[in-house]
Structure 1
Amino acid sequence: MSLLLLLADAPGAAPVADAARGAASPADFMAARQQMAFTLGFHIVLASIGIGLPAITLLAEWRSLRTGDTVYAELARRWMKAAGVLFAVGAVSGTVLSFEMGTLWPGFMDKYGQVFGAAFALEGLAFFIEAIFMGVYLYGWDRLSPRAHFLTGIPVVIAGIASASFVVTVNSWMNQPRGFTLVNGEVTDVDPLAAMFNPATPVQAVHLILASLMVCGFLVASVYAVALLRDRKAGRVDRYNRLGFAVPFSLGAVCAPLQVLVGDWATRFVADNQPIKFAAMEGVEHTQAGQPFKFAIFEIPNALSLMLKFDAHATLRGLDSFPADQRPPAEVVRTGFELMIVMGMFLLALAAWWGLTWFLRRRAAGRVGELNARADLPWKPWFLRAATVAGVAAVIAMEAGWTVTEVGRQPWIVYGVMRVEEAVNPNPGLRFGLYVVLVVYAVLAAATISVLRRMRRRPEPAAPADSPKEKVPA
C-alpha cells in the first residue's frame, strides 16, 4: 500500500477480546497493520516490474528480429538482466509476505486458508515456471538461435501475468467472498474454484495487469528521459537512448487510456457491490437524490448520480446510511482515490500527446519538410521533463489505488464476514517485527539500487564506432 494506509486507523478496528485466542494490544495491532502495508507497498512495485519488464524486453527483441537493428537487441539484453535482479529481490519480498500471512494474521489463515489456498498453490507453480524460463532466457543469449531465444521469453511473460492473476484472486475474494458456507462459525462446503472466480476477479485482475504494464513502461522510460535530457545538453541524441525511451513509453501510453476505461468499470463494480467503499471514495456523506460530483474544491450538482446511474436525480447512499463501526476511514480513502485520478489524468495527457505526435508524423510521411518540422515534437525538453516525472507518478497512482482497495474494505479483512481484529496474532511483540522489517528492507533497497546503478554502463556500443550520432533538430 502507501503511506496513506500506514496512517489509516479504521473506526471499530481496536482489538477485542476473544475467548479462544485473546487479543493483541493496540500497539501490536497497529504494528501488524503497518508491517503488512509497508511490505505489500514495497512488493507491489517489484511485482509490477516483474510483469512489465519481460514484456518490454520481448517487444524490443521482436523488433530486433524484424529489423535486424542491434540497438533493440542490446536494450533487450540490458532490460532482462535488470529483470533478473529485480525478480530475485521480488522473490525475497514475496517470501516475507507469505510468512507474514501466518505470523501476523493466523486467525484469517486458520479459518479461511482452505478456501483460497488453491490460488496460492497455483501462484507458486506459475512462479516456478517463470523462474525456470527466465534462467533459460538469460543463459540462452548467444547460445540459442535468435528465434529460439525469443520463444524462451514468452513463458516468462505468461507465467508472470498468471502468477499475479492468481494472487489477485485472493484479494478479490477478500472483497467478494464466495466458495464456502459458514455453519455455527465453521467453514464448510469449500469450493476453491468458486472462491477463485468470484465476481471481483475479472475487474481486479485486468486492472492490476494493465496497471503493472503502465507502471513499468513509464518507470523505465523515465530513466531514458533523464539520459535524453543530458544528451540534448551535449548537442546530440544517442539512438540507444531514443529507442530505450520510445519502446517502454509506447507501452505505457497504450495502457493509459485502457486503464481509464477499466477504472470506470472497477468504480461501477464497487458502487454495486461495496457501496460503503464507494461512498468513502466519492466523499458521499449523506444519502440523497441527485448526488453532486466532488473533486478537491470543485462540486458539480447532480453529476455523480448522472455518471453512475445515467439519471441526474438517482438516489445514492451516503456514509450516514451505514453503522458507524462498519465505516472505513473516509478521508484516507478519498484522498487516495483523488490522488490516483490526478496521476492517471497526467499520464493520460502524456500518452495522448505521444499518440498525437505519432499520428502527425505518419500523416506527414510523404511531405519531407513537414515531417522534419514535427519529428522533434516528443523530444522537446518540457516533454522529456514531464516523462521523467511520469515514472514516479505511475508508482504513486498504483500505491494510491491499492490504498483505496484495502483501506476502503476496513474494518473487514474478509468483507462482511471477518473483521481485521479477529484475524490478528494475539501474541505480544509484533511491533518488534515491524522494526526488523524496516531495517532489512532498507538494506535490501540500498543493495538493489547499488547493483542497478552498476549495470547502467553499456557493455558495448550500440553501433560501430565510426557511425555518426543523431543531431538534435534545431
Structure 2
Amino acid sequence: MDDFIAARSQMALSLGFHIIFACVGMVMPIFMAISHYKYLKTGDEVYKGLTKAWSKGVAILFATGAVSGTMLSFELGLLWPGFMKHAGPIFGMPFSLEGTAFFIEAIALGFFLYGWDRFNKWFHWATGVLVGISGLASGILVVAANAWMNSPSGFDYHDGVYSNIDPIKAMLNDAWFSQALHMVLAAFVATGFAVAGVHALMILKNKNIEFHRRAFFIAATCACIAALLQPISGDISAKDVAKRQPIKLAAMEAHFHTEPYSPFIIGGIVDEENQKVDYAIKLPGVLSFLVHGDFETPVKGLNEFPKENLPPVAITHYAFQIMISLGMLLCLISLIYIVAIWKKRNWLSSPWFLKLFVFAIPLGYIALEAGWVVTEVGRQPWIIYEIMRTKDAVTPMPGIVYSFYIFTAVFISLSTIVIFLLYRQMKMVGKLYDPTDPHFKNNLKH
C-alpha cells in the first residue's frame, strides 16, 4: 500500500466510523426530547425512565463522537495540506459554525443530564431540545462543507490562484440543500431503525415489555416517516447530481454509452474494460425519465468523458445499488408499520413483525455508508470537483501507511468500548427502569 492509498484509506475509515456517531448524535436527542415531552404531558413515569436511559446513551455517544470528530479535524490538516491550504479560507465558515454548534450542544447536554429536579421542568425540557437542534445543525454544517467539495463556489480561480472569496456563497453552494436533506433523513432512518430494532429484540425476550414498547413506538415512527420521505429526497439529489456531476450519475448507473431511452440498471456485474454490465435488469427509458422528465432524451454516458476523469465505476455502482436496495426494503417495512398502526394493531405484538425490525437493525447504517461511498468515490479523481485532484492535495510526508494502521487500531478500540458501554447500559435499563420493580420510582431519582 503506497502513501496515497493509505491516506485515502485512513480518511475513509475515519469518516465511516464518525458518520455513525454523528448520526446518533443528530437523532437520539430528538427521540429523548419526544419521550421527555410525553412524560411532562402525561406524568407517566415510564417515559421519564426512558428519557433518562436514552440520555445516558446520548452522553456515551457524544463523547465518542467528539473524539472521532477531533481526529478527523487533525487528519484534514495532516493528510491533505494541499487541500487545506487553498480550501480552508473558502469553506472554513461551516466548520467554525459547526464548532459553535458543538459547543452549544455540549453545554445543553450538561444542563439536561444534571438538571433533573433542579430546573423548571419546561426549561429542562428545552435544554434537551437544544441538544437535538445543535446536533442537527452540526451535521448540516459539516455536510455543507462536503457539498462544497462537490459543488465548489464562492471564489474565482485563475492560473492556480483563488481570489474574490465569499464564505457565505461557498457554504450555501448549489449542493448543500439536497445533500443536507438526504443526510438528515438518512440519519433518522438509520438510527431510528437501529433503536427500534434493539427495543423490539428486548420485547421478544420478554424484558421490561412496557418500557421497550414505548421506546419502540417513538423510534419506529420517526424512522418509518423518514424512510418514506427518503425516495423524494433521493430523487432531488439524483437530479442535482445529473445537472452538476453527470459523470458521477453515469458511474452510479454504470451507464457507459449515450443512447436514447437510457435504461435504469438494477444489479449486474460491471465490466469496466469492455464497458458493459452483465446480468443486469435494464428498464429502458427509466433513467431518461428520472433525469429529463421524458423517456427518450439520452443521458450522457461514461464514454463521452476523458478516461483520466472517470471515477471507479464498479465501486460507485455497487454502492449505489446497495443504497437504493436497502432503502426500498426499509420503505417496505415502513409501509407494513403504517398498516399495523392504522388497521392491524395486533401485528404490533406479533413475533414476525418485531423480527422485521430486529432484522433491520444494521440495514440503515449499511445504506448510509454505501451512500457516502457513492458521494466520495463518485467524485474521484477530484478532491475539489474539477478544480483540484486528490493526488495533488495529499501530504508529501512518508510513512502514512503506519498512521493508517494506528488509526485503524484506535477506531476498532473505540468501537469495542462503545459497544461494551451501550450493552452494559441496555442491561442496566432492564433492571433500573422496570415499572414492575418496587424500587422503580426510587431508581428514577438517580
| Deviations 1:58-91, CA, capped at 9 Å, x for gaps | 0111111122211111111100111001000000
State the alpha-carbon separation in 2 of the partners of residues 134 and 104 from structure 1: 32
2:257·2:301 contact (CA, 8 Å) conserved in 1?
yes
SS in structure 2 at match of 1:283:
coil
State the alpha-carbon separation in 1 of the partners of residues 300 and 58 from structure 2: 46
Map of 2:354 onto structure 1: 384
SS in structure 1 at match of 2:168:
helix
1:227 matched to 2:202? The reply is: yes
Map of 2:4 onto structure 1: 29
State the alpha-carbon separation in 1 of the partners of residues 438 and 74 from structure 2: 55
For residue 260 of structure 1, the aligned residue among 231, 238, 244 is: 231
1:289·1:313 contact (CA, 8 Å) conserved in 2?
yes
| Deviations 1:306-332, CA, capped at 9 Å, x for gaps | 232222211110000000000001111
For residue 404 of structure 1, the aligned residue among 358, 370, 374 is: 374
For residue 392 of structure 2, the aligned residue among 417, 422, 426 is: 422
Map of 1:336 onto structure 2: 319
State the alpha-carbon separation in 2 of the partners of residues 445 and 213 from structure 1: 21
1:448 matched to 2:418? The reply is: yes
Map of 2:265 onto structure 1: 294
For residue 305 of structure 2, the aligned residue among 310, 322, 343 is: 322
1:463 matched to 2:446? The reply is: no
SS in structure 2 at match of 1:149:
helix
State the alpha-carbon separation in 1 of the partners of residues 208 and 432 from structure 2: 17
1:254, CA displacement in angstroms? 0.9
Query: Letter of the aligned partner of 1:375 in structure 2?
Result: R
Map of 2:30 onto structure 1: 55
SS in structure 1 at match of 2:69:
helix
2:340·2:346 contact (CA, 8 Å) conserved in 1?
no
1:346 matched to 2:353? The reply is: no
| Deviations 1:429-470, CA, capped at 9 Å, x for gaps | 000000100111121111112222221213534425489xxx
Name the CA shift for 1:211/1:37 in 2 (closer, same or farther; >3 Å): same
State the alpha-carbon separation in 1 of the partners of residues 57 and 438 from structure 2: 29
SS in structure 1 at match of 2:2:
helix
Map of 1:307 onto structure 2: 290
Q: Which runs of 5+ in 1 are unaligned?
A: 1-25, 361-373, 468-474
For residue 404 of structure 2, the aligned residue among 434, 449, 453 is: 434
SS in structure 1 at match of 2:432:
coil
| Deviations 1:112-135, CA, capped at 9 Å, x for gaps | 211011111111011000000001
SS in structure 2 at match of 1:187:
strand
Name the CA shift for 1:69/1:462 in 2 (closer, same or farther; >3 Å): farther
SS in structure 1 at match of 2:173:
coil
State the alpha-carbon separation in 1 of the partners of residues 204 and 129 from structure 2: 33
1:107·1:422 contact (CA, 8 Å) conserved in 2?
yes
Name the CA shift for 1:463/1:419 in 2 (closer, same or farther; >3 Å): same
1:275·1:317 contact (CA, 8 Å) conserved in 2?
yes
User: Following TM superposition, where does structure 1 have runs of at least 4 consecutive aligned residues deviating by more than 3 angstroms?
Assistant: 464-467
Name the CA shift for 1:465/1:27 in 2 (closer, same or farther; >3 Å): closer
1:44, CA displacement in angstroms? 0.1
Map of 2:115 onto structure 1: 140
| Deviations 1:190-229, CA, capped at 9 Å, x for gaps | 1000100011011111111111122111111111111111
For residue 118 of structure 1, the aligned residue among 82, 85, 93 is: 93
SS in structure 1 at match of 2:362:
helix
State the alpha-carbon separation in 2 of the partners of residues 186 and 303 from structure 1: 42
TM-score, scaled relative to structure 2: 0.93
State the alpha-carbon separation in 1 of the partners of residues 285 and 172 from structure 2: 35
1:283 matched to 2:254? The reply is: yes
State the alpha-carbon separation in 1 of the partners of residues 30 and 210 from structure 2: 21
Q: Where in structure 2 are the equivalents of 1:347-362 lying within 5 Å?
A: 347-360=330-343
State the alpha-carbon separation in 2 of the partners of residues 207 and 253 from structure 1: 15
Map of 2:442 onto structure 1: none
Map of 1:365 onto structure 2: none
1:148, CA displacement in angstroms? 2.1
1:145, CA displacement in angstroms? 3.2
For residue 97 of structure 1, the aligned residue among 72, 96, 102 is: 72
1:180, CA displacement in angstroms? 0.8
SS in structure 2 at match of 1:427:
coil
State the alpha-carbon separation in 2 of the partners of residues 55 and 352 from structure 1: 23
1:82 matched to 2:65? The reply is: no
1:294, CA displacement in angstroms? 1.3
1:279·1:318 contact (CA, 8 Å) conserved in 2?
yes
- Name the stretch that deviates more: 297-306 or 242-251: 297-306
1:70·1:462 contact (CA, 8 Å) conserved in 2?
no
> Number of residues paired by the alignment?
425
For residue 240 of structure 1, the aligned residue among 208, 211, 229 is: 211
State the alpha-carbon separation in 2 of the partners of residues 375 and 258 from structure 1: 23
1:218·1:387 contact (CA, 8 Å) conserved in 2?
yes
- Cα RMSD over matched residues? 1.5
1:178·1:194 contact (CA, 8 Å) conserved in 2?
yes
1:154 matched to 2:137? The reply is: no
SS in structure 2 at match of 1:413:
strand
Query: Letter of the aligned partner of 2:303 in structure 1?
Result: D
Query: Letter of the aligned partner of 2:342 in structure 1?
Result: F
1:237, CA displacement in angstroms? 7.1
SS in structure 2 at match of 1:289:
coil
For residue 165 of structure 2, the aligned residue among 179, 190, 197 is: 190
State the alpha-carbon separation in 1 of the partners of residues 281 and 349 from structure 2: 34
Q: Which runs of 5+ in 2 are unaligned?
A: 268-279, 440-446
For residue 175 of structure 1, the aligned residue among 120, 135, 150 is: 150
Identity %: 41
Name the CA shift for 1:391/1:375 in 2 (closer, same or farther; >3 Å): same
1:97, CA displacement in angstroms? 0.2
